[in-house]
Amino acid sequence: MSNKVLLIRREDTFLVNTIRTQMTKNSYEYVEAPLSVRELSKLKGDFTLMLLYADDSVGEAREALVYIKDLMLEEEKELIACGDRNALEEVEKIIPRELIEAEFERPLDMVSIMDKVGDFLLEQRLEQRKKMILVVDDDPTYLKLIKEWLKDNYRVGMANSGMQAITWLAGNKADLVLLDYEMPTIKGSKVLEMLKSEANSSTIPVMFLTGKSDKEAIMEVLALKPAGYLLKSIDRATLLETLDKFFIEQKYKK
């Protein structure tokens, strides 16, 4: 994931140029685009934070604001918006205030804006140091539960099928896959085989998640030589302890 900032504006103005100057002064890497779907779509997501300068005509760019909202919801991009109160209210008609990371009203305090950008980028860099775990399970409730348990210690990706996991791994890196062994369409054993056959996922450790605790079922799981297995009845503390121990052992093996 890139740590670039996307500066979005409709027109070149004195304040936009001031923002550019401050971004450069603070050594923040940024790209820039007009407030239009066509121009925004050319960037292909090469940024983590959007900084929008909203002028008096921002309400005329409804489609572009909808596009920005979709990026926030679908790709987890964050938005800082600045401008006068009327312009910010036009933005909020499309993008709910609770989704916006921060708002700054004119007269703009450039120091506060740059501090907010810097804090976000630092948090992103710290977040990226966390191990990434992909959880694969056909039960969306269980997926959300595991993500909630892990999110403070790890970055978490989610997939609800084997094919979705393979698609996810084609564009993302994982340090560990937690894989449901008893999925209905494609069994976990088959998914493991598929992962091992793909170049970009062949070396990723896989731990099975299983609801069966009898000896015969466990032996069946272990015969596939995963990195380990976890019972779905595991509690949060034990799960975190097990994963922490696994990554420590991986570190020493390297």
Per DSSP, the residues of 179-205 read EETT-SSS-HHHHHHHHHHSTTTTTS-
Q: pLDDT value at position 182?
A: 82
| Same-domain pairing of 117 and 138 | no
Q: Considering its fold, how many domains does the chain have in total?
A: 2
| Same-domain pairing of 67 and 21 | yes
Stretches in the chain below the pLDDT threshold 70? 1-2, 45, 213-215, 217-218, 221, 253-254
Q: What angle do CA 246, 247, 253 make, to 5 degrees?
A: 90
DSSP three-state, residue 177: strand
| Same-domain pairing of 9 and 124 | yes
Name the CA dihedral angle for 65, 68, 74, 75, rounded to a multiple of 10 degrees: 180
| Same-domain pairing of 113 and 138 | no
- Which of 128, 162, 183 is the endpoint of a domain? 128
- Which of 96, 128, 160 is the endpoint of a domain? 128
28 Cβ contact list (under 8 Å, min separation 6): 5, 114, 117, 118, 121
DSSP three-state, residue 118: helix
Residue-range definition of the domain harbouring residue 96: 5-128
| Same-domain pairing of 136 and 121 | no
| Same-domain pairing of 121 and 148 | no
| Same-domain pairing of 139 and 165 | yes
Q: pLDDT value at position 213?
A: 64
Q: What angle do CA 149, 155, 161 make, to 5 degrees?
A: 80
Which amino acid belongs to residue 24?
A: T
| Same-domain pairing of 93 and 188 | no
| Same-domain pairing of 10 and 117 | yes
- Which of 68, 99, 128 is the endpoint of a domain? 128
Alpha-carbon distance values, 152 to 46, 148, 156, 240, 252 (Å): 25, 8, 10, 10, 23
In this structure, are residues 102 and 52 in contact, taking their beta carbons and an 8 Å threshold?
no
| Same-domain pairing of 185 and 113 | no
What distance in Å separates the CA atoms of residue 93 and residue 171, rounded to the nearest whole number?
A: 33
CATH code for the domain in which residue 148 is found? 3.40.50.2300
In this structure, are residues 47 and 6 in contact, taking their beta carbons and an 8 Å threshold?
yes
In this structure, are residues 42 and 29 in contact, taking their beta carbons and an 8 Å threshold?
no
| Same-domain pairing of 85 and 176 | no
| Same-domain pairing of 120 and 137 | no
